[in-house]
């Protein structure tokens, strides 16, 4: 019989009896927000939940890891102005995460990992993880989407840099996770007309424009999707296929499984 890694499927007495010296509790966190005309609002939550399923299935039975139910809401205010986007404030999301962490610490768990499925959560989760470490003593980790969104197939440089919302990768994942929710006839290609640095004489990196502002990076703007994309899409959604989605899940799930195995026994150096 396989290990039941869904923590909420167990009784309180079963949880009390778990050996918690090793092991990690994983909280997947998604978002309810616009993903263009062709993908559902629940896209990020569906992706992070499926990636965690794949990772847990790839773990050996002797690795102690338990999943909490996916938190579907995140900090999505960069997508305000698009009907259907439901965003928690930074303060609310931080408070919810602290409460979950305190409950786990009170139950005797020693490690908590946030598995993030939405880029807008990233900075907040990094900060909150350290606050939780100080407040509760839990060893707290932030696992970001880059861990499972690395395509094991070739994509264009443009898509790699600017296809970060509802483009080729997310569309491919939804085509295999929930194809009935995808409207490919409404998929579009859109790259924001955003200035990026001219190539460096030393490295040749960068291209076009003269601004040092990026959507992401060491010099970033407080961008809102409605300022740069009428559809809400950043990338080429028309390139999505279920086959690419299957490949992403296989590669991302294994990558996460390898990391969870290490985290489950992690101890500080001192």
What is the tens place of the pLDDT at every residue in 140-179?
999 999 999 999 999 999 999 889 999 999 999 999 999 9
Tens of pLDDT, residue by residue over 103-144, are 999 999 999 999 999 999 999 999 999 999 999 999 999 999
Q: Whole-model pTM?
A: 0.93
63 is written with which tokens?
């690795």
C-alpha to C-alpha distances, 158 to 16, 201, 219, 252, nearest whole angstrom: 50, 21, 19, 21
239 is written with which tokens?
């390139």
Q: Nearest-CA neighbor of 250 among 82, 105, 77, 50?
A: 50
> Domain 20-150+250-261 maps to which CATH number in 3.20.20.70, 3.30.1330.10, 1.20.120.530, 3.40.50.10310?
3.40.50.10310
Tens of pLDDT, residue by residue over 69-91, are 999 999 999 999 999 999 999 99
Give dist(CA 234, CA 122) in Å, integer.
18
Q: So what's the pLDDT on residue 161?
A: 86
Give yes or no for a contact between 102 and 25, defined as CB atoms under 8 angstroms apart: no
Report domain extents, the chain: 20-150+250-261, 157-247
- The sign of the dihedral angle between the CA atoms of 37, 42, 43, 46 is negative
Longest dimension (CA), the chain: 64
């Amino acid at each position: 019989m396989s290990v039941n890694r869904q923590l909420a499927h167990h009784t309180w007495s079963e949880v009390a009896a778990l050996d918690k010296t090793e092991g990690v509790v994983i909280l997947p966190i998604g978002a309810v927000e616009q993903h263009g005309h062709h993908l559902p609002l629940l896209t990020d939550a569906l992706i992070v939940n499926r990636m965690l399923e794949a990772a847990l299935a790839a773990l050996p039975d002797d690795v102690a890891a338990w999943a909490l139910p996916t938190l579907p809401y995140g900090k999505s205010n960069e997508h305000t102005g698009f009907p259907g986007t439901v965003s928690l404030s930074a303060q609310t999301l931080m408070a919810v995460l602290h409460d979950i962490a305190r409950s786990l610490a009170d139950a005797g768990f020693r490690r908590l990992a946030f598995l993030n499925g939405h880029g807008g959560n990233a900075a907040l989760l990094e900060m909150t993880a350290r606050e939780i470490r100080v407040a509760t003593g839990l060893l707290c980790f932030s696992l970001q989407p880059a861990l499972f969104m690395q395509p094991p197939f070739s994509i264009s440089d443009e898509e790699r840099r600017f296809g970060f919302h509802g483009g080729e990768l997310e569309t491919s994942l939804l085509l295999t996770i929930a194809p009935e929710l995808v409207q490919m006839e409404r998929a579009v290609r859109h790259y924001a007309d955003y200035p990026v640095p001219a190539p460096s004489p030393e490295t040749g990196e960068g291209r076009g424009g003269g601004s040092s502002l990026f959507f992401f990076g060491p010099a970033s703007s407080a961008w809102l999707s409605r300022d740069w994309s009428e559809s809400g899409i950043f990338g080429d959604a028309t390139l999505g296929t279920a086959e690419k989605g299957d490949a992403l899940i296989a590669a991302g799930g294994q990558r996460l499984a390898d990391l969870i195995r290490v985290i489950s026994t992690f101890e500080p150096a001192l």
